[in-house]
């Protein structure tokens, strides 16, 4: 069964550095998402992407965040200048877009900002 792939599985970075989290959604899916989950807490929506543009974003997704789909397969989340509070698990998800189809999640990238 096709799956969503995320790399790296774990990223450690210093505060103020830029990080890029990478995702390869399922090939025939149309909607893409980034979520984050601070350890032990709720899953938080960051951004959704459809038709090569952001369709919705949360208050968390400020100017420090950006998303791109550079080549039709990868879907990246960039954090320009990381803060300690960006430490979290970041999940990519995709959905075909047919009514009722579930989101398929990648295994996540654990980001640690020191």
**CB-nearer residue toward another protein: 79 or 93:** 93
Which of 89, 108, 97, 90 minimizes the C-alpha distance to 4?
108
Tokens of 64: 């420090």
**CB proximity list for 37: less than 8 A, separation 6 or greater:** 43, 44, 88, 89, 91, 108
**CB-nearer residue toward another protein: 16 or 52:** 52
**CB-nearer residue toward another protein: 45 or 74:** 45
Binding site for another protein (CB under 8 A): 31, 33, 37, 42-43, 45, 48, 55-56, 89, 91, 93, 95, 97, 100, 102-105, 107-108, 110
* Sign of the torsion angle spanned by Cα atoms 39, 54, 68, 71: positive
Instruction: Give least dist CB 40 to another protein, A.
Output: 9
Q: How far apart are CA 68 and CA 102, in angstroms?
A: 23
Instruction: Give least dist CB 22 to another protein, A.
Output: 17
**CB-nearer residue toward another protein: 25 or 108:** 108
Instruction: Give least dist CB 98 to another protein, A.
Output: 10
């Amino acid at each position: 069964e096709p799956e969503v792939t995320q790399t790296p599985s774990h990223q450690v970075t210093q505060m103020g550095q830029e990080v890029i989290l990478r995702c390869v959604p399922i090939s025939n899916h149309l909607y893409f998402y980034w979520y984050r989950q601070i350890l032990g807490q709720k899953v938080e929506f960051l951004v959704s992407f459809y038709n090569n543009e952001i369709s919705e974003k949360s208050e968390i997704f400020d100017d420090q965040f950006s998303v791109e789909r550079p080549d039709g397969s990868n879907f990246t989340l960039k954090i320009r200048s990381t803060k300690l509070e960006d430490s979290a698990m970041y999940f990519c998800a995709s959905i075909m877009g047919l009514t009722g189809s579930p989101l398929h999640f990648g295994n996540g990238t654990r980001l640690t900002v020191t």
